[in-house]
Structure 1
Amino acid sequence: MAREPLSVVLITYNNADTLDACLREVDWVDEIVVLDSGSSDSTVAIARMHGARVEAHPFDDYGPQKQRAYELARNDWILNLDADEILSPGTRAIIERALEDPMHAGFRLPRRERMFWTVQHRWSHRNGHLRLFNRKHGGMNDVEVHAAVEVRGPVKTLWGADFVNSGDGDIATRVEKINRYSSGMVAHKLRRGQRFTGVRMVIYPPLFFLRQFVLKRYFLNGWAGFIASVLGAFYVFLKYAKLHEARRAARSTSSPLRRED
């Protein structure tokens, strides 16, 4: 049985170091669409070498840029990847079977994280991410920083398939990203009116660490798993600490030396 036509869609900016490995694993799809935002390295040349259709648009934010790229595709079924992500061996066959007669609006693929000097152990918990979807049923949401695909309809996880994210090759890169992402989440949480930030700031980080290191079996990744779990807990702490700071600044009407409530 023939599968549904499939487009791989990526957005790029100076991704020459990782793009070739990414595209080599998806050379079997019907179309590769790359939306570039002004790369000055060989990103565009690499994309064209793999037969990609390359378009350009200035980058404003992750979610809107991804949505523009989806709309450029000729096929309704989209495989959404980042330029530093690589499909694992065997994933192609599972995707193709899923698209032979799809009864779902989308499919999640488990993601294996790069943890500094190693790659996440296959037996530790891998979060499923909605990366294969029918664009007739949805697209990118408008959440700051963590914008992701949302669809209307049933979604299934393809547990036999996965992909590797190679974004954080060292601890310094992860810490810089944590600082940037936690700042970006403040406006979203303010709009949601999230309460009890002080309590969350105290309780959630240690709970996150225990869930990550023990329940999600990050201990299988050795010291890399321990460090990733600690930094994940620190990210949770920073989100609520910065939210608490923003709330105090917004309601402060007197001296900046005003005593703590």
Structure 2
Amino acid sequence: MSKLPISAIVVGLNEANLLKNSISKLNFCDEIIYFDLGSSDNSIQIAVENNATVISHEKVPGCEWIHAKYYQSTKHKWVLISDPDEVLSNDLILELKGLYSNGLLEIEDIGCITVPIIYHFKGKPLNGTIWGGVKSRVLLIHKERFDFKPIVHLGRNLKIGYKTIDIAFSGKNNIEHYWMIGYRKLLEKHLRYLKNEGEARYLKGDRMNIVRILLMPLRAFRSCFIFLKGYKDGILGLFLSLFWAWYETTASVKLYKYQLSKKD
């Protein structure tokens, strides 16, 4: 069995240096669809060389917009969601193949599969902060049992009545997420996220007030640097914790402003 009945979706923009290492790992999927948002590098060429169907698309606020628009149009019911900066390990691929060969993907109430993921900053795995250590994220979804919505960070939801298979970390069966290649990219991405963060949090049900905004910098920093052990990453951990405090405070202000705009 060389190919699994899985459709993989990848969304990218000028990330050829990352895409070349990640998309080749998806060749166990019967269908690979690469959505290019206007790259000027050789991303499209790399996708074609890896037998992906290439769809050129205008820029969108986030990959959630592409997922929501196209996931129902894939060839297969099981859909794998990946990014150019995410590399699936060989051990993880073997586990995914094992799920299929053991019939677990045929169980009617399974809606998604979560897998371990490790974040890297400038090529180095993070040990602490909200991003550090071994995290878990949804990788594989059944498109009849899962919803995508065009909402930043909050656009993935398992439908009621369905279950998740959680693949436990065993040492090497994870996604290596080359999350940020540098400080400039970190700022660029998060400034883009902030454009939609207020609305996204409001739609989630979050609400904000002035007191919570004033307390947010300290709370966010304390959580990231102390409780989530950002100190384990030294100066980088300190910087990322301060960055997280700024981001959460700014996002809270965005939420508060959006909240006020919805009042009669």
* TM-score of the pair, normalised by structure 1: 0.81
**Structure 1 residue runs without a partner (length 5+):** 252-261
- The answer (yes or no) to whether the contact 1:125–1:217 under 8 Å persists in 2 is no
Aligned to 2:87: 86
Task: Tell me, yes or no, if structure 1 residue 7 matches structure 2 residue 11.
Answer: no
Task: Tell me, yes or no, if structure 1 residue 131 matches structure 2 residue 133.
Answer: no
Pairwise CA distance, 1:190 = 4.9
* Gap change, CA 1:244 and 1:162, over 3 Å in 2: same
Aligned residue type for 1:241: V
Aligned to 2:67: 66
* Gap change, CA 1:3 and 1:214, over 3 Å in 2: farther
Aligned residue type for 1:84: D
RMSD: 3.0
CA offsets, 1:160-182, max 9 Å, x none? 23212224222232223333322
Q: 1:203 pairs with 215, 223, 228, which one? A: 215
* Gap change, CA 1:10 and 1:227, over 3 Å in 2: same
Aligned to 1:101: 103
* TM-score of the pair, normalised by structure 2: 0.80
* Gap change, CA 1:39 and 1:117, over 3 Å in 2: closer
- Between stretches 119-128 and 227-236, larger displacement belongs to 119-128
Question: Structure 1 vs Structure 2: percent identity of aligned residues?
Answer: 20
Pairwise CA distance, 1:29 = 2.4
How many angstroms apart in 2 are the aligned matches of 1:72 and 1:194? Answer: 32
- The aligned runs of 1:10-159 (5 Å cut-off) are 10-62=10-62, 63-99=64-100, 100-102=102-104, 103=107, 104-116=110-122, 118-121=124-127, 124-143=132-151, 145-152=152-159, 153-159=162-168
- The answer (yes or no) to whether the contact 1:205–1:237 under 8 Å persists in 2 is yes
* Gap change, CA 1:210 and 1:37, over 3 Å in 2: same
**Structure 2 residue runs without a partner (length 5+):** none
Task: Tell me, yes or no, if structure 1 residue 170 matches structure 2 residue 172.
Answer: no
* Gap change, CA 1:135 and 1:196, over 3 Å in 2: closer
Task: Tell me, yes or no, if structure 1 residue 236 matches structure 2 residue 237.
Answer: no
SS at match of 1:51: coil
How many angstroms apart in 1 are the aligned matches of 2:213 and 2:45? Answer: 46
Q: Which has the larger radius of gyration?
A: 1
- The answer (yes or no) to whether the contact 2:7–2:79 under 8 Å persists in 1 is yes
